[in-house]
Amino acid sequence: MAYAEQLCADRGLSFTPLRREVYALICAHGAPLGAYELLDQLKQSRDNAAPVTVYRALEFLVAAGLVHRVAALNAFTACHGHEPGHGGLLLVCKNCSNVFELEDRGIERSISRSAADLAFTTSTDPVEVKGLCQDCQSTAEAS
């Protein structure tokens, strides 16, 4: 949490108590959470929480680079790489929905170069790769 607070302070961003709370809920879970799952948890401490409350906080957290939206799951997970321009490479398990973030500038540069060859400019949105995590592979092999 201290890192997120410092990151926001350095960038001149307002890390409000609500944004902190939503970020803490996301960080407390090992698996990605959907907006309505977050809303249910947020209502335990904020009776008046509404979907728009969560969506605005999530929009801020994604823009700040603290959280990734995992499109494949329509959910959100904490970001582990906070350097400017970081997009992220997310490995998404099709079976258990776990998400693993890779830090590999070489892969990011390779994608950008290949895209540039086609006169295409890439964004910093995370690249998602679907597959099976080690635990799910082991379970599948045991069956």
Structure tokens at 42: 């947020």
* CB-based contact 140:132 (threshold 8 Å): yes
Mean pLDDT comparison of 62-71, 78-87, 101-110, highest-scoring range: 62-71
Q: 17 CB contacts (<8 Å, ≥6 apart)? A: none
**Does the predicted model carry a pTM greater than 0.95?**
no
pLDDT digits (tens, 9 = 90+) for 57-73: 999 999 988 999 999 99
pLDDT digits (tens, 9 = 90+) for 108-122: 889 889 999 999 998
| 77 φ/ψ angles, rounded to the nearest 5 degrees | -140, 155
Sketch the domain layout of the chain as residue ranges. Answer: 2-142
CA distance 20 to 5: 8
List the end-to-end C-alpha distance of the chain, in Å, as a whole number.
41
The answer, yes or no, to whether residue 5 has pLDDT greater than 90, is yes
pLDDT digits (tens, 9 = 90+) for 6-17: 989 999 999 999
CA distance 108 to 86: 9
CA distance 98 to 51: 24
Domain 2-142 CATH class label: mainly alpha
